[in-house]
Each structure stands twice: as C-alpha cells, then as structure tokens.
Structure 1
Amino acid sequence: MNIHRRQILNFGAAAAAGSVLGAPAWAQGFPSKPLTLVVPFAPGGNTDIVARTVAVALGKVLGQSVVVDNRAGAGGSIGAMQVARAAPDGYTLLLCGAGVVVTVPEMVKTSYSRSSFAPLGLVNKSSMVLLARKNETRFRNFKEFAAYARSGEGKLTAAHSGPGTPNHLALLQLENLLKTKFTIVSYKGSGPALVDLIGGQVDVHFDQVTSSLQHIKGGSLQALAVLGPAQDPSLPGVQTVAELGFGEIDGTTYVGVLAPSGTPRDVHDKLAAALAQAVKDPQTVNSARELGSVALSSTPQEFARILDAEYALATQATKDGRLKAD
C-alpha cells in the first residue's frame, strides 16, 4: 500500500517546479480586500507554521494581506466545514493536508466531502518523526522504544495531532509493524501535543520535522526515527524505521491550499498561479528549509491526484477497521 502511494505521489521535479500554464485572463478586480487562510489546527503545529510563511508570500503576490485563521478541532473538520460553507468567491481558503479533506469524512459524518473543495496547489512537504523527551530513561533509542512498547499493550502513551491526520495514520502503521497497541492521545494540533510531551503527560509524539525541529535542536526532545522512506537532511544520523529493521512507514506530509467548490474559474486560476509563484519565492523556500521541510509547488491537478491517493488509503484503512475516530 505504501509503495503504491509513493508511486502516485512521486510526480518529481515537474511538481517542484510546477506552475499553472495556459490559465485564462485573470479575474478583473480580484482581490479587492484581504483574504482569509483557514488552518484547521491549533497554532504552533506543522500546518500552522507552513500557513504563516505562505500567507506572507501569497499576500505579496496578490497585493492584499492574507490573514491566517486557526479553527482547530475534530481532526480538522471544523476548519474545513468553515471553508466548505464559505462564499465561493476566492476570499476564504483552506490550507491543510489531504487527510482533513478525504480521511476525516471516512471516519466521522461531516457536512463536507472531497467534492466540496477545489484544489489550488501544493505548498510544502515534510518528513515525520517519532519524538520522545531527551531525558527519557525508559527508552533511549528506537529499538529500546520498540521493546518497551511491546512489553505491555497500552503501556505506552502516544500522541498525534488529530484523528485522520498523517500523524494518526503513521501511528497506526507503527502499531501494525510492532504488533502492539499504544494508549492513543489525540490533540487539536501538534502544538498542544508538543507541550504535553515536553511536560511528561505523554510518552511519545508523532510529528512533522517542521514543528518539532526547534525542540530537537534546543535539546528538550529527541527524534527516535524518521517515519518515511528516506532520512531527513535536517536530522543527520537519524535513521528511518525501515533502516532500523522494523519495516516501511511512509509518513511524508503534503500540505496544499484549496478553495470552496464553485469558485469562478478565472478566480480559481488566478489564485492557483499566485500560489505557485508564492511557493517559489526565495523567502518561502528558505523559510521552509530552515523549518526542516521543502517548499513544494504543483498544479491543481497534481494536488488532486494526491487527494485521490490518500482517499484510496483511507477507504482501505476504514474497511480494515484500523481508522476510527477517538
């Protein structure tokens, strides 16, 4: 399943240098007021950090300010519902990973679906890591962590940033690989989970490098393993779960921007072109690198293919009984 996902998502250099070609004439007079970029998670997490960088660059391209609005809760569905119900005029946008749009509706009843949104393009990708406190004595590396987790079902408390998120899916994958169960603790974003991990309320947290790198470099947290197909350049020497001999996990997180379905084509295309330009802005690229992620531009069609691939994974996980709301 993971190999299939990587094959679908691996659109390579074309996406990294992607742009919206052949778009019709830009909408006259748009935008004439500030835009709102809804983030369906709490401040301080991966999605929020990416959003604030992209908002500045997008605002420069469009000539209007882009205000980030955090609407956390229910695995991202609260923020997604706000955008799905917004006027399809291009002034209210959603920045999130595919899980919010296609996975959460597989878990719980929502008033929106994949068809409620029109993809504009990708903006970022980030590796995921398994985090523990730096001074943790029960397990000092991944192999000791695995032994501890296997020593008693539910013995270990594991945090993720919300039901249906890539963090949640990575946690479920690791449970499968280790053939054990964690006591799972769900949060409204990575920020609150990081606070509780540092404070000792949970044992480990599944998080993106983007939101955890500062804590790793600061010495309060350690990365036990990279939850992806390759090591992350921001964390030299930290091996993947596969390299450590425990099997493959693909926790790579792709983040993109969507508009409500029904947004006029000329407005949609103007936003998509502006977003592609903003993602390639040197400040955006450098900021992403400093945060431990990659600024990744794409066409709307490429983002749509990622949504389709994630939907295939979500429906299979639901059928297997592995993907459930908390």
Structure 2
Amino acid sequence: MNIDRRQILHFGAAAAAGSVLGAPAWAQGFPSKPLTLVVPFAPGGNTDIVARTVAVALGKVLGQSVVVDNRAGAGGSIGAMQVARAAPDGYTLLLCGAGVVVTVPEMVKTSYSRSSFAPLGLVNKSSMVLLARKNETRFRNFKEFAAYARSGDGKLTAAHSGPGTPNHLALLQLENLLKTKFTIVSYKGSGPALVDLIGGQVDVHFDQVTSSLQHIKGGSLQALAVLGPAQDPSLPGVQTVAELGFGEIDGTTYVGVLAPSGTPKDVHDKLAAALAQAVKDPQTVNSARELGSVALSSTPQEFARILDAEYALATQATRDGRLKAD
C-alpha cells in the first residue's frame, strides 16, 4: 500500500476553475426544486460536517435548497446504493470519500460500482489523527501506544468509521508498520466512534481532524500522532508517525461529490461549475479552516484520478488478504 496519492494531485486556482467553469451552455430550467445531498455516514462525523457546509454554499449558487440526508450503514454502501439507483436527473447527489465508491465494492458485494457514478469535483481534504482519551494512563504518547499495541495481538481495541473508509485503510497501514494486530471495531461513522472512545468502550480511534478537533480542544481527547505526510496546522506540535520514527503512513482524506452515472452532460456540467464556485465561497473556506480541514476545489477529472488511486490501494490490500469487511 505504497501508492502516493499526493503525486496525482497538483491543484491551483486556474486548474480548479479551468474546464469546469468554462463549461458549455447551462442546463435550461435546472434546478427547479430542492436537491438532496446523501451522506453515507451518521451525523457528527467528518463527512457529515463537510456536507452541511457545502450544502449551504451550493444552495446559494444554484438558487435552490440542498438537503443533507444521512444514510448510514455497511461502510457507506447503503447511501451510495441510494444514489446509484436514483434518477440521473441531478437532484440526488452523493458526498463521500473515495473509499465508499471504490473500496467497499472490493470488500463486499454491492449493487453499484465505480462506473455507477459521475464525479463532479472534490470539496475538502483533511488530515487524519490517532486519538486516545486525554486521561488514558496505559499510554500517554504514541511511542507508549506502540509498545502497548505490540505487547500482544488483539490487546488494543481500535475504532474506525466504517469498512473501506480511509480511516480503515489508515488502521491497516498502522498495523503493518507496527507489525501487530488490533481488535478492530467498525462504526457507522466517526460520530458514534467518538462517543464510544470518550466513554471508554474503545482504546483508540482513527479519525479526521475535522470531526475530532473540538474534542481535542475541549480536553476530552488527545491526538497521539498525525496519520499523514505532514503535521497539521490545527494541531501544532503533534508529530507525524514518520517523524516519530515508525515509517510513513498517508491517511489524508479527500471528500467529493458525485452524481448518478447517466446524468445529462449539461446538468452534470452545471452542477460541477456550481460546486467549484461553492467550494470557493469565503464562508466555506473559513468554515473548513475552523474545523481543521481545507476547502479543496477540483475538476471532475481530478476527482476521478483520486478514485483511481484509491482503487489501486484497495485492490492491493485485497490481494494481500488484509482488506475485509468486519
């Protein structure tokens, strides 16, 4: 699992605005009613928080309300299935990370595949962190955590936000680096996992800064390490796993919006252009920064390349026998 997703993304204002904002004639009469933005995870997690910010900005651009609909379960496949089966008219969209679309179908049988969706564009990226309770006494930092995890396979319970999510892939990468096994607990999103971590039902949780920052600042949780290529500015002083001497791990989470495959080109282009504009809205940018993430605009083609890279990661993990539904 050594594919570097950073190498396939080179974003700039011109690139993000180029072919999308220069699209041909806008779809006449679209939209004429509210849109539904399906989030395939429970409320309170990273994806849900991003969706609610983007929905407001997208609604302003389109002149129609955008309603967030949480459809959690089965690693995101329940929500994805709803959108894949929806009429390809642009009124039902999916906001998620690449894992829901390309990784989950590698793990379990689904009625959809990568070809069931048409990417519209990326909206956000965030770092991932390894979280523990602030008052945890068995390990007070990452090195103590690593020693504890290595003291016996399955001794430590580790939570992630759903099978096939970037959180799950980061967990597998860390198991590999530490040469140990966790007792893995899967949730229907980061929100429920955070509740159980704070309550002591699990030992650690792999989560995005977006959904965990408030708990870190509030003093209930601590970040043991950043699971990415660089430190996160929202968490000054928290080192990466590589900086701590344990090897490289990339848990950067990219979130984007997709429409059902078969959506008419004029509608698809209008949605992609509106989304690119919404992501650059000052309120969206500021909200993302406050949450500990980055509002990230892209073309549909750039989002497609992220999906391809995630697919390569997932297929390699499947071949290695390490990516399985819990």
Superposition TM-score tier, normalisation by shorter sequence:
over 0.9
Query: How has the CA–CA distance of structure 1 residues 241 and 16 changed in structure 2, closer, same or farther, with 3 Å as cutoff?
Result: farther
**Contact 1:15–1:296 (8 Å) recurs in 2:** no
Query: How has the CA–CA distance of structure 1 residues 227 and 162 changed in structure 2, closer, same or farther, with 3 Å as cutoff?
Result: same
Query: How has the CA–CA distance of structure 1 residues 261 and 3 changed in structure 2, closer, same or farther, with 3 Å as cutoff?
Result: closer
Q: Which residue of 1 aligns with 2:51?
A: 51
How far 1:12 sits from its partner (Å)?
A: 5.5
Q: Which residue of 2 aligns with 1:36?
A: 36
Output one character per residue of 1:288-323: Cα deviation in whole Å (capped at 9) or x when no partner.
Answer: 000000000000000000001111111111001010
Query: How has the CA–CA distance of structure 1 residues 186 and 171 changed in structure 2, closer, same or farther, with 3 Å as cutoff?
Result: same
**Contact 1:18–1:297 (8 Å) recurs in 2:** no
TM-score by length of 1: 0.98
How far apart in 2 are the matches of 1:7 and 1:205?
A: 27
How far apart in 2 are the matches of 1:18 and 1:318?
A: 36
TM-score by length of 2: 0.98
**Contact 1:19–1:277 (8 Å) recurs in 2:** no
Pairing 1:7–2:19 present:
no
**Contact 1:102–1:311 (8 Å) recurs in 2:** yes
Query: How has the CA–CA distance of structure 1 residues 144 and 14 changed in structure 2, closer, same or farther, with 3 Å as cutoff?
Result: farther
Query: How has the CA–CA distance of structure 1 residues 17 and 213 changed in structure 2, closer, same or farther, with 3 Å as cutoff?
Result: farther
How far apart in 1 are the matches of 2:203 and 2:116?
A: 37
Query: How has the CA–CA distance of structure 1 residues 14 and 155 changed in structure 2, closer, same or farther, with 3 Å as cutoff?
Result: farther
How far apart in 2 are the matches of 1:270 and 1:155?
A: 51
How far 1:10 sits from its partner (Å)?
A: 4.3
Query: How has the CA–CA distance of structure 1 residues 262 and 205 changed in structure 2, closer, same or farther, with 3 Å as cutoff?
Result: same
Output one character per residue of 1:41-74: Cα deviation in whole Å (capped at 9) or x when no partner.
Answer: 0000000000000000000000000000000000
Stretch deviating more after TM superposition (262-271 or 21-30):
21-30
Secondary structure of the residue aligned to 1:17 is: helix
Query: How has the CA–CA distance of structure 1 residues 16 and 273 changed in structure 2, closer, same or farther, with 3 Å as cutoff?
Result: closer
How far 1:6 sits from its partner (Å)?
A: 2.2
How far apart in 2 are the matches of 1:52 and 1:190?
A: 15
How far apart in 2 are the matches of 1:67 and 1:131?
A: 31
How far apart in 2 are the matches of 1:294 and 1:261?
A: 27
How far 1:9 sits from its partner (Å)?
A: 3.3
Structure 1 gaps of 5+ residues are: none
**Contact 1:19–1:298 (8 Å) recurs in 2:** no
Output one character per residue of 1:8-43: Cα deviation in whole Å (capped at 9) or x when no partner.
Answer: 234456556666143110011100000000000000
**Contact 2:3–2:313 (8 Å) recurs in 1:** no
Query: How has the CA–CA distance of structure 1 residues 232 and 17 changed in structure 2, closer, same or farther, with 3 Å as cutoff?
Result: farther
Output one character per residue of 1:213-260: Cα deviation in whole Å (capped at 9) or x when no partner.
Answer: 000000000000000000000000000000000000000000000000
**Contact 1:88–1:260 (8 Å) recurs in 2:** yes
Query: How has the CA–CA distance of structure 1 residues 322 and 14 changed in structure 2, closer, same or farther, with 3 Å as cutoff?
Result: farther
**Contact 2:16–2:299 (8 Å) recurs in 1:** no
Output one character per residue of 1:121-172: Cα deviation in whole Å (capped at 9) or x when no partner.
Answer: 0000000000000000000000000000000110000000000000000000
**Contact 2:11–2:298 (8 Å) recurs in 1:** no
How far 1:200 sits from its partner (Å)?
A: 0.1
How far 1:119 sits from its partner (Å)?
A: 0.2
Output one character per residue of 1:85-106: Cα deviation in whole Å (capped at 9) or x when no partner.
Answer: 0000000000000000000000
**Contact 1:36–1:93 (8 Å) recurs in 2:** yes
**Contact 2:16–2:276 (8 Å) recurs in 1:** no
Stretch deviating more after TM superposition (197-206 or 21-30):
21-30
How far apart in 1 are the matches of 2:146 and 2:307?
A: 32
**Contact 2:3–2:309 (8 Å) recurs in 1:** no
How far apart in 2 are the matches of 1:16 and 1:187?
A: 34
How far 1:7 sits from its partner (Å)?
A: 1.1
Secondary structure of the residue aligned to 1:18 is: helix
The number of equivalent residue pairs is 326
Q: Structure 1 residue runs of 4+, over 4 Å off?
A: 10-19
Query: How has the CA–CA distance of structure 1 residues 60 and 99 changed in structure 2, closer, same or farther, with 3 Å as cutoff?
Result: same
Structure 2 gaps of 5+ residues are: none
1:120-199 paired onto structure 2 within 5 Å:
120-199=120-199
**Contact 2:41–2:71 (8 Å) recurs in 1:** yes
**Contact 1:15–1:302 (8 Å) recurs in 2:** no
**Contact 2:43–2:191 (8 Å) recurs in 1:** yes
How far apart in 2 are the matches of 1:117 and 1:104?
A: 14
Query: How has the CA–CA distance of structure 1 residues 207 and 297 changed in structure 2, closer, same or farther, with 3 Å as cutoff?
Result: same
**Contact 2:39–2:69 (8 Å) recurs in 1:** yes
Query: How has the CA–CA distance of structure 1 residues 15 and 318 changed in structure 2, closer, same or farther, with 3 Å as cutoff?
Result: farther
